């Protein structure tokens, strides 16, 4: 049995270092229409969408493209935000709750369509998504969610206890939706970065952005290697950086953990969740399960961000916790050690809905914060909302993602 690789992200480890693309550092002075800060899943899609619209765009990444949250994510593309629709309706009203859900779904479908259109080699596989409540509280939540989605006209099927037991060998109730997908998130993000460059975008790595100073009609940006003048700056860093500390009260900085098993023998695979399904449950924190070839990737055990000095120890602890929780879900996996285990930082909002758009206190700024576990699927949602804001063509459905949905 292979030794566990703690703190090693599988998607990055399996991609040969010699084939990883390299982009230049920013040096000197640069003038651009739109500057994007952050080269993760959302930042690279925003760069692609803006460049495809004919906008002069430059992206700045402090580290290496796609090697942060993107390389540590699950690669599961759900068609709904992390928050349940029935809760969104309770918090924001029927109209805005539906807008959030429908806009998120449209964005994730566009994300998958773009991967196919651009022929991005990222192991894209179509799967059905199962959202399961495995205890009494979870079953009640699933029933409420089913009623809300049906009322909203969303295509969703309910799985009662008998159907769930027969299909997955689990006790509870669930929802089943079609057209979800899985990808290699690192390769997918690199693909969008490459597509952005092909359409004229400029990408700079190892070019940390420092001070951003707004002027009357533009912003001046200091990078580690020079200065940039732009008419607009897009902050796609997932969490407010030091310059935007007042916005942090809206976000909870969180670490999710992931374990990936070794290749499982056929006898064990037959006892596991079918390979054409991805599974999410209603536990708190919830779990996400998918297949990667003949391996199982299992995520969960979310907690508040830990200090850097405790990260290594916490990955080992949470990996053991996740393997135990996976064995409770699937007894056939008992005794298996993970081959890879890592933590992935992200930020979530109080209501589970990301913030995409401008903020009244920051002229010439656009923000994309709080993607949560659904960051991949929400990349196009963010990009379209930000593009419309930049062009002055915002739609009513954009408002529920804005900072104005919760009053100061």
Provide the 10 A C-beta neighbour count for residue 141.
18
> Tokens 């979800």 identify what position?
180
What token pair was written down for 138? 């979870």
The pLDDT assigned to 374 comes to 59
Confidence (pLDDT) at 375? 67
For residue 279, report the phi and psi dihedrals to the nearest 5 degrees: -125, 135
pLDDT at 405: 80
Q: 60 phi and psi, to 5 degrees? A: -125, 125
- Whose CA is closest to 77, among 288, 235, 341, 259? 288
**Structural tokens at position 384:** 């379209």
List CB contacts of 60: < 8 A, sequence separation 6 or more: 26, 35, 36, 37, 38, 39, 204, 207, 208, 209, 221, 223, 228
Q: In a 3-state reduction of DSSP, which class is residue 76? A: strand
Reference 22, options 183, 184, 193, 185; nearest CA is 193
Q: Which residues contact residue 236 at a Cβ distance below 8 angstroms, ignoring those fewer than 6 apart?
A: 36, 37, 38, 40, 42, 43, 46, 368, 382
pLDDT in tens, 223-251: 999 999 999 999 999 899 889 999 999 89
Does residue 261 contact residue 338 with C-beta atoms inside 8 Å?
yes
Residue 288: both structure tokens together? 């996400």
Element (H, E) at 182: strand 173-182
The DSSP H or E segment spanning 300 is strand 295-304
- Cα(148)–Cα(94) distance, rounded to whole angstroms? 10
* CB of 218 closer than 8 Å to CB of 364: yes
The CA-atom distances, in angstroms, between 381 and each of 104, 185, 248 are 6, 17, 22
The two structure tokens encoding residue 119: 């022929």
Q: How far apart are CA 293 and CA 151, in angstroms?
A: 37
Residue 342 CA to residue 345 CA, distance in Å, equals 10
321 three-state secondary structure? helix
Taking alpha carbons only, the member of 298, 375, 374 closest to residue 340 is 298
Contacts of the segment 332-335: beta carbons below 8 A, 24+ positions apart: 332/267, 332/268, 332/271, 332/272, 333/261, 333/264, 333/268, 333/272, 333/296
Which stretches of the chain score pLDDT less than 50? Answer: 408
């Amino acid at each position: 049995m292979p030794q566990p690789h703690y703190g090693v992200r599988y998607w990055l480890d399996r991609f040969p270092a010699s084939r990883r693309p390299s982009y230049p550092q920013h040096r000197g002075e640069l003038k651009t229409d739109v500057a994007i800060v952050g080269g993760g899943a959302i930042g690279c899609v925003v760069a692609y969408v803006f460049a495809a619209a004919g906008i002069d765009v430059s992206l700045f990444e402090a580290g290496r493209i796609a090697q942060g949250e993107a390389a540590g994510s699950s690669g599961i593309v759900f068609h709904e935000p992390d928050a349940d629709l029935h809760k969104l309706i309770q918090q924001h009203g029927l109209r805005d709750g539906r807008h959030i859900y429908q806009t998120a779904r449209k964005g994730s479908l566009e994300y998958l369509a773009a991967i196919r259109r651009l022929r991005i080699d990222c192991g894209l596989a179509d799967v059905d998504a199962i959202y399961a409540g495995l205890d009494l509280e979870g079953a009640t939540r699933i029933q409420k969610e089913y009623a809300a989605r049906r009322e909203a006209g969303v295509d969703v099927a309910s799985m009662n206890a008998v159907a769930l037991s027969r299909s997955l060998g689990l006790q509870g109730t669930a929802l089943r939706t079609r057209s979800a997908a899985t990808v290699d998130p690192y390769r997918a993000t690199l693909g969008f970065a490459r597509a952005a460059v092909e359409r004229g975008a400029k990408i700079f790595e190892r070019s940390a952005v420092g001070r951003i100073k707004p002027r009357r009609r533009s912003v001046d940006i200091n990078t580690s290697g020079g200065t940039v003048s732009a008419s607009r700056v897009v902050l796609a860093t997932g969490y407010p950086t030091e310059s935007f500390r007042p916005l942090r009260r809206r976000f909870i900085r969180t670490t999710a953990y992931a374990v990936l098993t070794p290749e499982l023998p056929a006898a064990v695979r037959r006892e596991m969740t079918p390979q054409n399904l991805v599974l999410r449950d209603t536990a708190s924190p919830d779990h996400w399960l998918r297949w990667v070839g003949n391996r199982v990737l299992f995520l969960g055990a979310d907690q508040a961000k830990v200090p850097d000095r405790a990260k290594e120890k916490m990955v080992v602890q949470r990996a053991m916790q996740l393997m135990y929780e996976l064995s409770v879900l699937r007894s056939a996996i008992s005794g298996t050690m993970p081959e890879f285990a890592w933590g992935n930082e992200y930020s979530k909002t109080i209501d589970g809905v990301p913030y995409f758009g401008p903020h009244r206190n920051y002229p010439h700024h656009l923000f994309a914060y709080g993607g949560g576990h659904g960051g991949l699927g929400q990349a196009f949602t963010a990009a379209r909302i930000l593009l419309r804001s930049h062009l002055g063509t915002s739609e009513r459905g954009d408002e529920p993602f804005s900072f104005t949905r919760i009053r100061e």
